Structure 1
Amino acid sequence: MFVPVVSENTNRSQRIVAQIRSLVAEGKLKPGDRLPPERELAQLMNVSRTSVREAIQILATMGMVTIKKGQGIFIAQNDVTSLMNTLGELLVVKKDEIKDLLEVRKVLETQAVSLAVERASDEELLTLREIVEDALARITTNEVDPAYAREHDARFHGAIFSFTRNHVLIAIVSSLYHVYDRMRSRTTTIPGRAIQSIKDHQRIMEAISRRDKDTAVQAMLEHIQSVERVL
């Protein structure tokens, strides 16, 4: 069922996500089905376990899989998620609609960061810090690899949404996943933009870690406004 991943111009974790989504759409993977263990999946798809972990995190954020500790990873049984993902696949954002999309993103992301401050566990906050610190370590001179920046951005924002524990909110965001990904493809190639985003993420992460809701919300709002200015 699973086939080796060919990276080409897309990072491997995104390819894994796309393959699993396709298998679900084709009915080869059904709600409640258990995915192979991480090591086996990595072997089947000829990728690293790190790529598999990143893909599973993305899928969990999208609401497509459920991670059950000690049991494994399962295709989610969630009618809301299925509906929202279907709508997302049909959504085509025109150039003059980007402003509208960013307004929606402000509402969703500021609410998500507010909930994350309240609900994220200490362990999850450490994970968020690791995501940011890994990105900071990759900053060289004045640039960051666009492919890595795109992957980092998805992981950072995805982690925050997962901390909300709100499955409907996650489903709504997952329906916009591909639209957001196209926006990332544009912004991460703008000189200096990737570094600015990583620094914004650091500020957001620090505020969430302090459980400082007001500062975290303001930092997220300013981050999205900075994206708005370059689009």
Structure 2
Amino acid sequence: MAADTPSAEPGDGERYRPGYELVAEQLLAYMAEHDLRPGDRLPTEKGLAELLGATRNVTREAVKVLAAIGRLSVRKGAGIFVAASGGPAGPADEQLVHFQPTDMNHVVMLLDYRGLIEAETARRAATFATPIQVRSLREHAERSAIAAGEADIPGFADADALFHDAVGAAAQNLFLQVSVANIRRFAAQSDVLLFHGDVPGSLEVAGAQHLGIAAAIAAGDPETAATLMVEHVDTTRHQFERKIRDRLFTHPSKETVLAPNPLRQAQA
């Protein structure tokens, strides 16, 4: 992308955040403050840049990122819109439209929910998994551990997704399986904006946790499987907390120092 990348001042130990990340955060906040819903139209790229006090180039990159993670829809010749959720909207869906992937409170709520859902999924998988499903999830766990040992981030991400999907399928409950997939969809938004293709913590630790969960499910031990899954999710939570806490000590990018947000000033 053309937007600036993180850099560091020699000796200060602090990292600059990409300008597009700052603008993306402000744009998500703008959508929430104005209660925009799927299908609602946003100002033009030029208008957004002026509203958010950013340059056109960085605003364009922020829009691209938010479109890539499914929060915006850019229609050539028509404009920029809040992306549809892909299904019929209800009260809960309307609230999720305003999920803030870099806000610690929102991330914690998502990970709390993930812990509840995936613990029960692992518990049921240990009870109901078929031999074929056990073999599948163990293979994905082993793949993730191998990718971790080789520092293969894309390979690990692929194996990680397949592992959690396999555990969800082994629970023999369609609603749990869909919930696991939806959780990962929201978590991916935080991954993109917080980690920029990097990983939040140790791949080796995550790979070893996958192996432990798979072994407990294969042994038909529901409580151990659930406990290990909770520990796995808690590890992720601590990594997110550390990453977001680190953001409090970073500077805005050199290319884009955001002006005071006139939207917030007008509402003050």
Smaller-chain TM-score range? 0.5 to 0.7
TM-score by length of 1: 0.56
In the alignment, structure 1 residue 104 sits paired with structure 2 residue 113: yes
Q: Where do 1:22-101 residues align within 5 Å? A: 82-83=87-88, 87=93, 90=97, 92-94=99-101, 95-96=103-104, 97-101=106-110
2:179 to 157, 160, 172: 172
The answer (yes or no) to whether the contact 2:164–2:180 under 8 Å persists in 1 is no
The answer (yes or no) to whether the contact 1:84–1:172 under 8 Å persists in 2 is no
Provide the aligned C-alpha RMSD in A: 2.8
Q: Distance in 1 between matches of 2:89 and 2:170?
A: 19
Offset of residue 91 of structure 1: 5.2
TM-score by length of 2: 0.49
**Which AA in structure 2 matches 1:87?**
D
The structure-2 alpha-carbon separation of the partners of 1:213 and 1:133, relative to structure 1 and needing over 3 Å to count, comes to: same
The answer (yes or no) to whether the contact 2:118–2:180 under 8 Å persists in 1 is no
In the alignment, structure 1 residue 160 sits paired with structure 2 residue 167: yes
Q: Name which structure has the greater RCO, CA cutoff 8 Å, separation 6+.
A: 2
The answer (yes or no) to whether the contact 1:84–1:175 under 8 Å persists in 2 is no
Q: Distance in 1 between matches of 2:202 and 2:196?
A: 7
Offset of residue 134 of structure 1: 2.2
Offset of residue 139 of structure 1: 4.0
1:223 to 226, 232, 236: 232
1:176 counterpart SS class: helix
The structure-2 alpha-carbon separation of the partners of 1:184 and 1:165, relative to structure 1 and needing over 3 Å to count, comes to: farther
The structure-2 alpha-carbon separation of the partners of 1:209 and 1:98, relative to structure 1 and needing over 3 Å to count, comes to: same
The answer (yes or no) to whether the contact 2:148–2:203 under 8 Å persists in 1 is no
1:172 counterpart SS class: helix
The answer (yes or no) to whether the contact 1:110–1:220 under 8 Å persists in 2 is yes
**Which AA in structure 2 matches 1:150?**
A
- The higher radius of gyration belongs to 2
The answer (yes or no) to whether the contact 2:126–2:222 under 8 Å persists in 1 is yes
Q: Distance in 1 between matches of 2:187 and 2:156?
A: 14
1:196 to 198, 205, 226: 205
The structure-2 alpha-carbon separation of the partners of 1:84 and 1:226, relative to structure 1 and needing over 3 Å to count, comes to: farther
Count, aligned residues: 149
Structure 2 gap ranges (5+):
1-85, 241-268
The structure-2 alpha-carbon separation of the partners of 1:216 and 1:148, relative to structure 1 and needing over 3 Å to count, comes to: same
Offset of residue 174 of structure 1: 3.2
**Which AA in structure 2 matches 1:176?**
I
**Which AA in structure 2 matches 1:218?**
T
Offset of residue 192 of structure 1: 5.3
Q: Distance in 2 between matches of 1:171 and 1:221?
A: 19
Offset of residue 92 of structure 1: 2.6
Offset of residue 162 of structure 1: 1.1
- Percentage of matched positions with identical amino acids: 21
Structure 1 gap ranges (5+):
1-80
The structure-2 alpha-carbon separation of the partners of 1:230 and 1:84, relative to structure 1 and needing over 3 Å to count, comes to: farther
Comparing 173-182 with 125-134, greater Cα deviation is found at: 173-182
Match of 1:182 in 2: 189
Higher helix fraction: Structure 1 or Structure 2?
1
Offset of residue 151 of structure 1: 1.3
**Which AA in structure 1 matches 2:186?**
V
In the alignment, structure 1 residue 150 sits paired with structure 2 residue 157: yes
The answer (yes or no) to whether the contact 1:187–1:194 under 8 Å persists in 2 is no
Q: Distance in 2 between matches of 1:188 and 1:209?
A: 32
Match of 2:128 in 1: 119
1:138 counterpart SS class: helix
Q: Distance in 2 between matches of 1:133 and 1:198?
A: 8
Q: Distance in 2 between matches of 1:165 and 1:155?
A: 16
Comparing 189-198 with 209-218, greater Cα deviation is found at: 189-198
Offset of residue 127 of structure 1: 0.9
Offset of residue 90 of structure 1: 3.2
